[in-house]
């Protein structure tokens, strides 16, 4: 694939404090871009990161026909660069596209776009462990219309953003609350694909949760308001006695790539694993009986994030650990070890540049 490259004449890298990276506030010098028109993807290009032209009537702005992914590239101590789980992110991207009538992105466009862009932006991949270059492939409808129909034109971009921890708590346990008066998603809707509206819908309840002193909302199922689903920015795991339990992919939960990595590693290492509905009352009881040992979330941005506290309708689960529990720590170390090349990539998760 021939990618036309137009380089910036003035890099912004000197303006970024790599020792103090927050999440998603800095962007590298270049972006990948390709348009879809008249039934086909046109010529791909890498251009300076800049304003992008759009009409105010661009249909995405009105009806939200768009999809995104969150991926990461890491540096190995050898200087090589690794794009983590490219194939799984590609598959999920196109599954999301299908759900909102966006034409699939060809594999070579997605893959070569990422490889060429990350290669050009090598200097932007943080050197320090636990930091990474967050990659944001996304696609949106560009027809100029207020008509409610699938667009006939689209634009796909990839952006790069050097990042540190997703939560301001770092890797200290975060606090969650349920919000049974709101729901995130229902089976048959779009909760199992990565579309922007899922995140927009979470903002009001999350703001309320934050005003009450919690970091995020722990979403319950939309029908019975009884079963735990996910956290919106991550999937959720519970260690009850010695069994690792996570809610099943049921049509309303996002099938997380890090969730999949945790499950694959857990099964490989013969841990007791269950993917099954987890009632919030079961968790409260397990906590009262001293059986709930650890809670942690998994996500590309969040990696493995310990949860120290869950509030549900006046009841509290508070775990004693002030740090990550040993099981969460094992997954954190193993996954970040593979990402940074300190542990062999036995699973074939890494695309090395």
Binding site for ligand COI (CB under 6 A): 70, 233, 299-301
Min dist. Cβ of residue 66 to ligand COI (A) = 13
- Rounded to whole angstroms, the Cα distance separating 310 from 78 reads 41
Transcribe 128-188 into DSSP letters: STT-EEEEEEEEEE--B--S-S--S-EEEEEEEEEE--SSTTTTSPEEEE--TT--S--TT
User: How far from 246 is each of 140, 219, 249, 278, CA to CA, in Å?
Assistant: 32, 13, 9, 7
Using CA atoms, how far apart are residues 339 and 349, in angstroms rounded to an integer?
8
Burial class of residue 324 (count of CB atoms within 10 Å of its CB; 0-12, 13-18, 19+):
buried
The distance of closest approach from Cβ of residue 301 to ligand COI in the complex, given in angstroms and rounded to an integer, is 3
Q: How far is the CB of 254 from ligand COI (least distance, A)?
A: 9
Task: Specify the residue, 286 or 328, whose C-beta has the smaller distance to ligand COI.
Answer: 328
Considering the complex, what minimum distance in angstroms separates the CB of residue 99 from ligand COI? 16
DSSP state of 106: P
44/70 with CB nearer ligand COI:
70
Question: Minimum distance from CB of 190 to ligand COI (Å)?
Answer: 14
- Cβ-based burial of 99 (10 A; exposed 0-12, middle 13-18, buried ≥19): middle
Q: How far is the CB of 302 from ligand COI (least distance, A)?
A: 6
- Cβ distance to ligand COI smaller for residue 135 or 319: 135
Cβ at position 340, least distance to ligand COI in Å: 18
Q: 126 or 293: whose CB is closer to ligand COI? A: 126
Phi then psi dihedrals of residue 113, to 5 deg? -60, -50
CA proximity to 205, closest of 224, 228, 178: 178
Instruction: Please give the structure tokens belonging to residue 66.
Output: 């768009």
Distance CA 264, CA 1 (A): 33
For 88, the 3-state DSSP assignment is helix
| Least CB distance to ligand COI at residue 137 (A) | 11
Q: What is the DSSP letter of 269?
A: T
Q: In terms of CB distance, is 207 or 313 closer to ligand COI?
A: 207
Q: Select 70 or 306, whichever has its Cβ closest to ligand COI.
A: 70
Residue of minimal CB distance from ligand COI?
A: 70
Nearer to ligand COI, 90 or 143 (CB): 90
d(CA 90, CA 27): 22
For ligand COI, give the closer residue by CB, 16 or 193. 193
Cα–Cα distance, 216 to 140 (Å, whole number): 27
Shortest reach from residue 299's CB to ligand COI, in Å: 4
Q: How far is 318 from 214, CA to CA, in rounded Å?
A: 13
If DSSP codes are grouped into helix, strand and coil, which group holds residue 205?
helix
**Quick one: 136 or 315, whose CB is closer to ligand COI?**
136
- For residue 112, the SS3 value is helix
Please tell me the distance from the alpha carbon of residue 334 to that of residue 220, in angstroms, as a whole number.
29
């Amino acid at each position: 694939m021939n990618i036309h490259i137009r380089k910036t004449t003035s890099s912004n890298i000197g303006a970024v404090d790599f020792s103090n990276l927050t999440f998603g506030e800095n962007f590298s010098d270049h972006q990948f871009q390709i348009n879809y028109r008249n039934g086909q993807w046109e010529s791909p290009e890498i251009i300076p990161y800049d304003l992008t032209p759009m009409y105010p009537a661009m249909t995405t702005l009105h009806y939200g026909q768009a999809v995104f992914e969150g991926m990461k590239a890491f540096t190995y101590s050898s200087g090589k660069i690794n794009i983590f789980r490219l194939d799984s992110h590609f598959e999920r991207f196109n599954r999301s596209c299908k759900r909102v009538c966006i034409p699939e992105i060809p594999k070579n466009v997605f893959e070569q776009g990422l490889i060429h862009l990350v290669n050009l932006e090598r200097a932007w991949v943080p050197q320090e462990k636990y930091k990474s270059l967050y990659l944001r492939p996304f696609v949106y409808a560009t027809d100029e219309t207020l008509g409610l129909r699938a667009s006939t034109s689209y634009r796909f971009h990839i952006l790069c953003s050097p990042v540190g921890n997703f939560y301001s708590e770092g890797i200290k346990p975060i606090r969650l609350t349920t919000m049974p008066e709101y729901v995130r998603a229902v089976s048959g809707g779009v909760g199992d694909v990565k579309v922007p509206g899922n995140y927009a819908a979470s903002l009001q309840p999350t703001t309320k949760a934050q005003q009450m002193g919690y970091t995020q909302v722990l979403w319950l199922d939309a029908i019975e308001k009884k079963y735990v689903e996910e956290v919106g920015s991550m999937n959720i795991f519970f260690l009850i006695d010695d069994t690792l339990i996570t809610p099943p992919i049921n049509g309303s939960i996002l099938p997380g790539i890090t969730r999949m990595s945790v499950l694959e590693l857990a099964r490989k290492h013969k841990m007791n694993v269950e993917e099954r509905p987890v009632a919030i009352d079961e968790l409260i009881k397990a906590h009262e009986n001293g059986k709930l040992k650890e809670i942690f979330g998994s996500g590309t941005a969040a990696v493995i994030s310990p949860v120290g506290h869950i509030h549900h309708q006046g009841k509290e689960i508070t775990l004693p650990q002030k740090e990550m529990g040993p099981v969460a720590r094992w997954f954190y170390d193993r996954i970040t070890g593979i990402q940074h090349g300190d542990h062999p990539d036995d699973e074939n998760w890494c695309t090395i540049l």
